[in-house]
Structure 1
């Protein structure tokens, strides 16, 4: 009830949406990979996987081709 003014703002402005799909879609691959890291075998393997994933996502966030980066 205390957020009603924000709900009204979303209803009045067609560019505002009351969802967080953009954020959820950005973290979905990470959540999937996190489950796969359970089977890395060793902590070093999990750390290596996380490092590689971080580099790939950083490249994507900066508009670079991860394979070329």
Structure 2
């Protein structure tokens, strides 16, 4: 499951380490039964912070 999450993050131009760190910091503080809230944490969500993204300078 972790491998799948990492590869999906890579496929969505996210930094896997930063993305997983963000999830582990944020998810304990949200209602994980609310799909509307969880959608913003998916790897393809446009609401993810820039820190999770692979930004090419």
Larger radius of gyration: 1
Is the helix fraction higher in 1 or 2?
Answer: 1
TM-score by length of 1: 0.31
TM-score by length of 2: 0.35
- Name which structure has the greater RCO, CA cutoff 8 Å, separation 6+: 2
